[in-house]
């Protein structure tokens, strides 16, 4: 029985041995498979991406002790990225990631894999997103309505031209598409004066022209399309303001100058009126000046009394408008803010009067000292020679009159003796009394030298003061009043009493600017423009 089934037993035994051997080989394979690793796509530059282009791949692993792997992103994921636990990654970088200046941007992403047996592995990849330039986009444009015998100007609406990347754009004409005589500038301005035949053809049927819109510096182009047609209606006139500010801030006594350029699709002859309406009635109508039929200026200078105290500013609107023959109207409003300003001319005039007044006083004192100098010089000359025609002797004799008979025995001489209340004034013709009754020669010389010294000192100080503060800007300095007081104190020194100047002395000359300038050559009078 056993022998009968021996071959079956051998077959089973052989199968068991083979299975055991294979299992042992598998166990050995598992034991030498190595650690868990994440495998990225093998293509070159697979991680270099383009804006707007999708990347789609599956992560893979090798090694590890288990075939069950779960994937995740541990850091660097952004909301536009799609990634599931099976390792499927999908991402389309948006067009606003990079630009023409920063042409690339990097995104480091850390992927992580984990097996059911607890093994884990992570690996970082840096995605580099490159900028992709997009061509401009042109929306539908307003028709270009032209008029006969007129240079028609059309400005392509920049609001209808868009560049998705925000690049600068220029306009390039397609010459074969444009009628003869038409010009298209890089800024999008079309100038055309149609001939008789061109206008007649256009009158029968409108036509279209095409042009390129090109971004810079990538030179990507898009086509624009513009309809040409004749004017079927009386279009409203228009005007531009230079500078193009809706708010004008200015100070009192500051000139405001606005320039206006008028235009009318139907020609300059269609413009009837250009004027303004002001909320403030102090703005004169004469401020608007007409240069030509299409050129105006608004020139206005608010005075120092425009803004009344205690207000700091005064705000109001001025509406400028243009009318054509059909009473079509275009208007624009400008907001004016005028600031209250101190009138510097009043202060300048005040300090100038102080400056001039000090020099006038100095000039008058110089004149008086010059006159005194002449008197002392004359007296000194006479005293030095010892000549006197007569000398006066004042004597207080109480109530006596006996001096006359004693001094003058001659009856003819006694008539010259006058007695008033006991005071006798005697004429003594024989005395050379300079040293006896009058003052000494040395005293006259000292007084003469003192007058000369004070006169020269005053002249020098006056020259310095006139020169230092001859300009308006110098008199605005804070030290002007201090220097003025110092100069005036020079003319009020107690030492001037020794000059024996007459306090009631009046100058016979008029204190004109010419006279002051002759005395102090650096003196500059205040002109009308300065005032």
Report d(CA 268, CA 153) in Å as an integer: 13
411 pLDDT more than 80: no
Average pLDDT over residues 440-454: 71
356 pLDDT more than 90: no
CB 51 within 8 A of CB 131: yes
| DSSP label at residue 456 | H
Using a pLDDT cut of 90, give the percent of the chain over it.
31
Q: What b/e readout covers 454-473, taking b as 16+ CB neighbours within 10 angstroms? A: bbeebeeebbebbebbeebe
| Class of the CATH-defined domain 137-230 | mainly beta
Least confident of 94-103, 156-165, 522-531: 522-531
238-339, CATH topology level: Immunoglobulin-like (2.60.40)
* pLDDT value for 359: 87
Report d(CA 427, CA 404) in Å as an integer: 11
Which of these, 287, 305, 307, lies nearest to 297 by C-alpha position? 287
* pLDDT value for 388: 45
Average pLDDT over residues 308-312: 86
Which of these, 97, 29, 86, 32, lies nearest to 59 by C-alpha position? 86
Cis amide bond preceding 112, omega within 30: no
CB 467 within 8 A of CB 339: no
Helix (H, G, I), strand (E, B) or coil at 271: strand
The pairing of beta strand 48-50 with beta strand 120-130? parallel
Cα–Cα distances (Å) from 227 to 10, 211, 406, 424, in that order, read: 98, 12, 137, 125
* pLDDT tens by residue, 260-298: 999 876 667 888 999 999 999 999 999 999 999 899 999
Report d(CA 194, CA 148) in Å as an integer: 7
Least confident of 21-35, 89-103, 315-329: 21-35
Name the one residue in this structure whose structure tokens are 């079509």.
328
Residue 501 φ/ψ, nearest 5 degrees: -80, 145
* pLDDT value for 426: 37
CB 152 within 8 A of CB 144: yes
What does the domain layout of the chain look like in residue ranges? Answer: 37-130, 137-230, 238-339, 343-384+439-530
Which of these, 431, 433, 440, 401, lies nearest to 417 by C-alpha position? 401
323 pLDDT more than 90: yes
Which residues contact residue 273 at a Cβ distance below 8 angstroms, ignoring those fewer than 6 apart?
A: 321, 322, 323
Least confident of 158-167, 494-503, 510-519: 494-503
Please indicate whether residue 377 or residue 51 has the higher confidence score (pLDDT): 51
512 pLDDT more than 90: no
Query: What count of residues does the chain have?
Result: 531
Please indicate whether residue 393 or residue 319 has the higher confidence score (pLDDT): 319
* pLDDT value for 3: 52
Report d(CA 133, CA 218) in Å as an integer: 7
Which residues contact residue 280 at a Cβ distance below 8 angstroms, ignoring those fewer than 6 apart?
A: 314, 316, 336
Least confident of 187-201, 223-237, 375-389: 375-389
Average pLDDT over residues 112-117: 88
pLDDT band at 111 (very low <50, low <70, confident <90, very high): very high
* pLDDT value for 336: 96
Please indicate whether residue 22 or residue 120 has the higher confidence score (pLDDT): 120
- 238-339 has the same fold as 37-130: yes
* pLDDT value for 12: 67
pTM metric for this prediction: 0.38
* pLDDT value for 434: 41
| Class of the CATH-defined domain 37-130 | mainly beta
Please indicate whether residue 256 or residue 24 has the higher confidence score (pLDDT): 256
* pLDDT value for 289: 95
* pLDDT tens by residue, 172-190: 999 998 999 999 999 999 9
Indicate if the alpha-carbon torsion angle 355, 358, 361, 365 is positive or negative: negative
Average pLDDT over residues 204-221: 91
Least confident of 12-16, 149-153, 178-182, 398-402: 398-402
Report d(CA 287, CA 201) in Å as an integer: 46
* pLDDT value for 462: 86
Work out the mean pLDDT of the chain and round it to a whole number: 79
Return the number of other C-beta atoms located less than 10 Å from residue 182's C-beta.
Answer: 21
| DSSP label at residue 142 | P
Is residue 13 within a helix (H) or strand (E), and if so which, with residue range?
helix 6-31
Please indicate whether residue 309 or residue 223 has the higher confidence score (pLDDT): 223
Q: How far is Cα of residue 30 from the mean position of the Cα atoms in its chain?
A: 80
pLDDT band at 28 (very low <50, low <70, confident <90, very high): very low
Q: What is the dihedral of CA 227, 232, 236, 238, to 10 degrees?
A: 40
pLDDT band at 18 (very low <50, low <70, confident <90, very high): low
**Quick one: 305 exposed, middle or buried, by C-beta within 10 A (0-12, 13-18, 19+)?**
exposed
Least confident of 72-81, 83-92, 430-439: 430-439
Average pLDDT over residues 329-340: 93
* pLDDT value for 345: 74
pLDDT band at 5 (very low <50, low <70, confident <90, very high): low
* pLDDT value for 239: 92
* pLDDT value for 401: 40
Query: In sequence order, what DSSP letters do the residues of 170-220 get, joined into one string?
Result: EEEE-GGGSPTT-EE-TTSEEEE---HHHHHHHHHS-EEEEEEEEETTT--
pLDDT band at 407 (very low <50, low <70, confident <90, very high): very low
Average pLDDT over residues 409-416: 45
Cα–Cα distances (Å) from 344 to 252, 361, 391, 417, 471, in that order, read: 11, 26, 63, 70, 14
* pLDDT value for 384: 66
Least confident of 86-95, 165-174, 252-261, 439-448: 439-448
């Amino acid at each position: 029985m056993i022998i009968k089934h021996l071959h079956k037993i051998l077959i089973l035994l052989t199968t068991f041995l083979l299975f055991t051997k294979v299992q042992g080989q598998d166990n050995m394979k598992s034991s030498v498979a190595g650690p868990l690793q994440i495998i990225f796509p093998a293509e070159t530059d697979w991680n270099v991406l383009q804006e707007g282009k999708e990347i789609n791949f599956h992560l893979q692993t090798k090694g590890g002790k288990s075939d069950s792997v779960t994937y995740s992103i541990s850091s660097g994921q952004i909301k536009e990225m799609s990634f599931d636990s099976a390792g499927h990654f999908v991402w389309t970088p948006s067009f606003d990631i990079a630009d023409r200046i920063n042409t690339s941007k990097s995104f480091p992403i850390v992927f992580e894999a984990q097996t059911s047996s607890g093994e884990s592995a992570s690996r970082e990849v840096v995605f580099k997103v490159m900028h992709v330039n997009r061509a401009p986009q042109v929306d539908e444009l307003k028709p270009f309505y032209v008029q006969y015998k007129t240079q028609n100007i059309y400005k392509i609406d920049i609001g209808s031209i868009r560049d998705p990347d925000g690049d600068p754009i220029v306009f390039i004409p397609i010459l074969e598409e444009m009628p003869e005589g038409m010009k298209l500038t890089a800024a999008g301005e079309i100038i055309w004066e149609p001939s008789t035949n061109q206008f007649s053809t256009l009158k029968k049927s409108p036509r279209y022209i095409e042009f390129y819109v090109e971004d810079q510096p990538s030179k990507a182009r898009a086509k624009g399309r513009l309809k040409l047609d004749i004017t079927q209606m009386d279009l409203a006139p228009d005007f531009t303001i230079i500078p193009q500010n809706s708010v004008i801030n200015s100070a009192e006594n500051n000139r405001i100058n606005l320039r206006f350029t008028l235009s009318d699709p139907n020609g300059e002859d269609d413009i009837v009126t250009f004027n303004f309406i002001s909320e403030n009635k102090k703005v004169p109508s004469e401020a608007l000046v007409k240069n030509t039929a299409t050129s105006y200026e608004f020139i206005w200078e608010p005075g120092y009394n425009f803004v009344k105290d205690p207000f700091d500013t005064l705000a109001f609107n001025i509406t400028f408008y243009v009318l054509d023959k059909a009473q079509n109207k275009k208007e624009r409003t400008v907001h004016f803010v005028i600031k209250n300003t101190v009138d510097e001319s009043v202060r300048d005039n005040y300090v100038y009067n102080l400056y001039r007044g000090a020099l006038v006083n100095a000039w008058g004192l110089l004149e008086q000292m010059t006159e005194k100098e002449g008197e002392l010089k004359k007296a000194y000359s006479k005293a030095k020679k010892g000549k006197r025609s007569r000398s006066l002797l004042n004597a207080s004799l109480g109530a006596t009159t006996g001096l006359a008979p004693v001094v003058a025995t001659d009856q003819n001489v006694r008539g010259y003796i006058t007695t008033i209340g006991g005071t006798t004034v005697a004429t003594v013709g024989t005395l050379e009394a300079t040293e006896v009754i009058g003052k000494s020669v040395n005293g006259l010389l000292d007084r003469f030298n003192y007058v000369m010294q004070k006169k020269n000192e005053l002249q020098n100080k006056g020259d310095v003061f006139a020169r230092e503060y001859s300009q308006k800007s110098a008199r605005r300095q804070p030290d002007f009043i201090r220097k003025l007081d110092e100069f005036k104190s020079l003319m009020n020194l107690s030492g001037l009493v020794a000059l024996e100047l007459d306090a009631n002395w009046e100058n016979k000359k008029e204190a004109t600017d010419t006279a002051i300038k002759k005395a102090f050559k650096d003196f500059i009078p205040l002109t009308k423009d300065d005032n």
